[in-house]
Chains A and B, each alone.
Chain A
Amino acid sequence: MIQLIIGQLLNGAIVGSLYGIVALGITLTFGITGIVNFALGAFMMLGAYFTWYGYELIGLPYPIAVIVAVLLVATLGLVADLGLFRFTRNNLVNGLLVSIGLISIIEASVLLTWTSTPKDLSYVLPGSLRVGGILLPKIKLAVFAVLLLVIASTYLALTRTWIGRAAFAYAQNPEAAALMGVKTNRLQTIVTVYSTALAGLGGALYASLYSLEPTIGAYYVLKAVESAILAGIGNTIGALVGGIIIGISEGIGSVFLPTAFRDAYGMLFLVLILLFKPSGLLGSK
């Protein structure tokens, strides 16, 4: 039983961190560009497929495949920003339309190229660690560690660097930020690309654990939006925490309650939080 709970806790934390970094991209992008970029889910899915392709078909070592996939996704993010999103900034509806259009294009391209047959990576890192009689798969620990590292460095970058401070300043008052000398167009591009890269990384890590299908993006982006709402929209760090909370409540919930309803446990939690604190778990006011 303990083994099961600890295992589900780790699963929940990993899946939750994946929701969380996509959610972080959603809130960051929204705060800085005024666009709800649902296409981040599709970018995540692309990151997963690129990793699978690099690792399985080209035979790159997994870490290299991950890096290449993230760089590719970031490049596509840059192209999408300069070619599309740049023209829809601060226009919620157009931004939404563009991101939905992008989802169709990306999903259709993946379907065409790689079909809908699920893809699996052969064991990236086999074996388990035994901690106090509990077996923890090495790959899950590694993925979780990388996620934590990325989350921590994003947090540091947002709070300790000038560009991070500029992002927070811009989110509060775009014009005042410009008056401080923030290059606002560049900031928006950087944030859009960073968010896509995060999503791509999420996908690249996902690929080492679960099966790939062209539809995983849609699932993850919905969870990410859920996490962002849980935290209070615009709360960057909260979005991460929100994702982890949802992931863990799904993981733990499905130990004690029917697994078929696992999606509902996170939702239930969300509804409860919003009932008592409409601005979200960590939101102000």
Chain B
Amino acid sequence: MLEVAALDVFYGKQQVLRGLNLRVGQGEVVALIGPNAAGKSTTLRVLAGLKKPATGNIALAGRNIGALSTAQRVAGGLVLVPEGRQIFARFTVEDNLLMGAYARRDRDSSRGDLERVFAMFPRLRERREQRAGSMSGGEQQMLAIGRGLMAKPSLMLLDEPTLGLAPIIIDELSNTIHNLATNGITILLAEQNAAMALSCAHRAYVLESGRIVLDGEAAALANAPEVKQMYLGS
């Protein structure tokens, strides 16, 4: 579904991604794990079209999307749920969700899709009229994912969704990701929380200083000594 080849990305003179190759198959949940500043967010931002790579190729469903704008990518089903939620703080929960449908051709009839999001996140239904900025971190994360769902994505990029959440909410989030996958949404999940990411994913890549240093089945990686030592704290 998503093929990334030989991606080089710079911020000024500093090279942040070095020859990155990555593949996400249709219906897969793939994790991208790595320490702070490894380049996880940068990878997702490049995929979403927020940051231009110096070189490299990005193909979605066989089509080269490197030249497309963020808006065109969203319309094509590629949606990023960014790090730190980035919800519209002064909008209500409902307006945030509706904004998620902005890029859809049939956005005028998107109101009906609110129900699907509410079915997945009943808490959002209760808070429908609440200002999004006044919700808890966990609720805001649910909202950010729900808003992403309103775009009817085929590929969803999740950047650090566990950031700042309590363990019990993180479990809830794992369930959510399973749910999304069951609903046929392909997922690329960037996470520092390797334990959570590896438990959700089918496959995973380990990113360090802009390079993929390991990749493979999530279950196998979870047992690899390097990963255990570096990321799982055992």
Contacts and interface: CB of A to CB of B under 8 A. Distances in A.
Interface stretch (B28-36, B94-102, B162-170, B221-229): B94-102
Report the interface size class on chain B.
20 to 34
A77 B82 CA distance: 35
A181 B104 CA distance: 9
Contact of A165 (B74, B82, B87, B95): B95
Contacts of A177: 99
B48 A165 contact: no
B90 A172 contact: yes
Interface of A: 162, 165-166, 168-169, 172-173, 175-183
Q: Which of A172, A176, A180 has the most CB of B within 10 A?
A: A180
B99 A180 contact: yes
Nearest to A165: B99
Given A179-B79, A183-B69, 11 more contacts: A166-B99, A172-B89, A172-B90, A175-B50, A175-B82, A175-B86, A178-B50, A178-B70, A181-B71, A181-B75, A181-B151
Contacts of A182: 71, 102
Interface in B120-153: 147, 151
B87 A181 contact: no
Nearest to B104: A181
B91 interface: yes
Contact of B71 (A162, A172, A183): A183
A182 B151 CA distance: 12
A180 B82 contact: no
10 smallest beta-carbon distances between A and B, as pairs: A181-B103, A181-B74, A176-B86, A181-B71, A180-B102, A172-B88, A181-B102, A178-B70, A183-B71, A180-B99
A166 B91 contact: no
Interface string B63-87: 0000001110011000110100011
Contacts of A180: 74, 99-100, 102-103, 147, 151
A173 B143 CA distance: 15
A178 B50 CA distance: 8
B88 A173 contact: yes
